[in-house]
Structure 1
Amino acid sequence: MNTAATDEWAWNQTRSDSAFARWEVADHKDTPGEVLEFLSRDHVEEVLINVAHNPSTPASALRLLSRHRSIIVRRAVALNTTTPPDVLDFLSRDSDAEVRVDVAENGCTSPSTLRTLSTHSDRTIRRLVAKNPNTPQEVLLEFVKVEDDDFRMDVINNPSASLSTLVAVLDVSDYTSYVAQQELLERIDVHTYTDEELERAVAERYASSDDVDLTYLSEWSRDLLVGWLTSV
């Protein structure tokens, strides 16, 4: 079906009295943005859910639907990876916990919003923040300090966790330290980091500690970290 034919089909479906026809066009990946904009004011919830889910839905329509009375519609907006960051930020303060959970999980949620959600009272939300690749490194480091292996594992498995963040996990429980070591081995190309960079990553972790000899620490990082990496 060419673009003109798709447009004509979409508008014909949109004008139909059949809720199923409108539901179908709202779900189609090639439905034009202006049609989805029109359907964002439909009176049938199921149609609105599809509009809110559709990655082709314009930002203006998603912004409108983010204020809809239906929790399911707002959840669909919160899960849509094309929802603008400002709309996700608005939804992060939604009255419904499930909407906030979806925002924390969305890979397009802004670092500033995730930083705010990282101190949320809901453990599920905090864990999703720990897993989100947009979460700032300083927030991930705060999760490492939490005496909870689940959070530490979430940080280890976060694809955006930096070398310094992974090294920080080595300072906690034996279990997570071991897993962090394996993750370092798997995720770091030994030709990417120099000895000095590895030393700096460890030194940054302990920079605020008065009882750590950084000279010794550099030697430790060189012998231990580089030893791990070159033994792969």
Structure 2
Amino acid sequence: MTDTPALGEVARNGLWSNNPALVQLLGLCPLLAVSSTVVNALGLALATLLVLLGSNLAVSLIRHQVTPTVRLPAFVMIIAAFVTCAELLMAAYTFELYRILGIFIPLIVTNCAILGRAEAFASRQPLLPSATDGLMTGLGFGAVLVLLGALRELFGQGTLFTGMDLLLGPAAAGWGITVFPDLDFLFLVLPPGAFFATGLLIALKNVIDDRLERRRRAREPDTPRESRRVRVTGTIR
């Protein structure tokens, strides 16, 4: 029986310390393929969040009833059921965006980040920590998706929030902003640009973590020399 972690620690791990995209490097296929614009990234982020939250809740509820021999197949079936729900919802309410995202919605079933959280966390923890883990991991993955989409859209096409009406309806049709007119940097729009931008985000996170660690060490009081001194008793022969 594993100890139940604090909810604050679970949230911090999902959002930052153990972010699936920047630390675990899971789910990179949809991350790199879909994040050409903000609206595409946001659509996939919401679908992934729904599947993560639902699958973690379901796995936590049945964790005592599923035997180890059928555990992984049962988890995959649960994830597939929630992916089907997300796919049907998108097809019903955001059909044009659903067509743009294409195969990457059904491929959420194979996202290692979702199955990994079900196996490593939800199958061992009660309902509330599992729900928190699913929510925060989904938000962490979605934040990277949206940030990557914003970077690629801004510096690749010179715009932001174009096509938001595909996700949010006609009310969001005028949300598009042209920041750099006549900009067409094809490198960032294509998959190599996605790899490059993702590497920059990972490097930025590592720099931030390094600075936070240095500040934490600087705030710690110096340990007195007497407490650091090692005293050896006895004689070595």
- TM-score if structure 1 supplies the norm length? 0.22
Q: Tell me the TM-score normalised to structure 2 length.
A: 0.22
Which structure: larger Rg? 1
